[in-house]
Amino acid sequence: MSKASLSSYLRDIRFPFCAGCGGTTVATVFLKAVQELGHKDFQGFVFCSGIGCASWIPSPHFKADSIHTTHGRSIPVATGVKLVRPDLKVVVFGGDGDLVGIGLSHLIHAARRNLDITVVMVNNMIYGMTGGQVAATTPMNVKTTTTPYGGFEGSLDTARLVATAGASYAARWTTAHLVQLRESIKKALVTKGFSFVEVVSQCPTAYGRRAGFKNAGEMLLWLKEQSVTFDEAEQLSERELEEKIVVGEFVSRILPTLSERIQTVLRKAKKQ
């Protein structure tokens, strides 16, 4: 891994994340991936993010164009940017609350359209910024501030959902898989079409405390232990899989992108 400084990608503003937050890890791994792809700075990149801790990764910390949108709407804003400027690399950062809670429909539709953007979802399985309320990604039975007796709803398998909806690329890793995550982000950034990287991440403050973890390290170890590959998952029953985090690439394929399809429409229209 390159030892070169990542500070050239950052403004001189400190990340506001709690000690032990996985968001800082995701930010660092993302910057290393960008560096390894040979980008000296963020020229040609645009970042869109919604509301929540993960949305603060690019805005305003990345020395880049960034649009910090309303809650859940980073993907449709990114859609407008990308359709007008298909030459720009548009990257969305968001948490699970933002992207699969309030904004889920936009994620599915962007995958269906194969909109040529990259989405990095930091899945901390909780609404962290608002203090630890249950999310669409919180595992069954976990205690949160709004499920004091334990959760009673199923959780969403987002990377699989995005792959099914029509994305070019979808992968899931955790903050305990630094190398795989970096390689996956690199692959997502060079993929034509909709690329999605889910990072299951620790939130020691709003999740770990109530879920019975002593500290961030313990959570990280738990993420690592719970992770299984596709091959390993095949050997497990549905019941056993409920406790697990399936990691790896869910899909990686070449498909026509929304921008390409729209170019065809523009050519047809001009002939009329």
Nearer to another protein, 19 or 265 (CB): 265
Does residue 88 belong to the site contacting another protein (CB under 8 A)? yes
The stretch among 66-74, 143-151, 198-206, 244-252 that binds another protein (CB under 8 A) is 66-74
The stretch among 101-109, 132-140, 218-226, 242-250 that binds another protein (CB under 8 A) is 101-109
- Judge residue 260's burial from the number of C-beta atoms within 10 Å of its C-beta, 0-12 exposed, 13-18 middle, 19 or more buried: middle
Nearer to another protein, 82 or 182 (CB): 82
Does residue 186 belong to the site contacting another protein (CB under 8 A)? no
Does residue 39 belong to the site contacting another protein (CB under 8 A)? no
> Please, which contacts does 180-186 make with residues 24 or more away whose CB atoms are closer than 8 Å?
180/247, 181/26, 181/29, 182/1, 182/29, 182/32, 182/33, 182/36, 183/33, 184/249, 185/29, 185/30, 185/33, 185/118, 185/120, 186/33, 186/36, 186/37
- Kindly give the interhelix angle for 104-113 and 74-84, rounded to the nearest 10 degrees: 30
Say whether 238 sits in a helix, a strand or coil: helix
Of positions 106, 143, 172, 182, contacts another protein by CB under 8 A: 106
Asked if residues 167 and 191 have their Cβ atoms less than 8 Å apart, the reply is no
Q: Write the Ramachandran bin of 69: left for phi over 0, alpha for psi from -120 to 50, otherwise beta.
A: beta
Does residue 201 belong to the site contacting another protein (CB under 8 A)? no
Q: Where are the beta strands (DSSP E) in 96-223?
A: 118-123, 169-174, 195-200
Residue 272 Cβ, how far from another protein at the closest point, in Å? 7
In angstroms, the Cα distances linking 20 to 90, 109, 113, 219 are 28, 34, 36, 10
CA-to-CA distance for 194 and 116, rounded, in angstroms?
Answer: 5
Residue 80 Cβ, how far from another protein at the closest point, in Å? 3
Nearer to another protein, 49 or 201 (CB): 49
Of positions 53, 57, 78, 185, contacts another protein by CB under 8 A: 78
Residue 239 Cβ, how far from another protein at the closest point, in Å? 35
Of positions 27, 29, 31, 48, contacts another protein by CB under 8 A: 48
Residue 40 DSSP code: S
The stretch among 71-79, 151-159, 195-203, 249-257 that binds another protein (CB under 8 A) is 71-79
The stretch among 104-112, 129-137, 193-201, 249-257 that binds another protein (CB under 8 A) is 104-112
In angstroms, the Cα distances linking 129 to 50, 55, 95, 96 are 12, 10, 10, 12
Does residue 255 belong to the site contacting another protein (CB under 8 A)? no
Does residue 54 belong to the site contacting another protein (CB under 8 A)? no
Length of the chain counted residue by residue: 272
Residue 77 Cβ, how far from another protein at the closest point, in Å? 4
The binding site for another protein (CB under 8 A) comprises 13, 42-44, 46, 48, 59-60, 63-70, 73, 75-85, 87-88, 105-106, 109, 262, 265-266, 268-270, 272
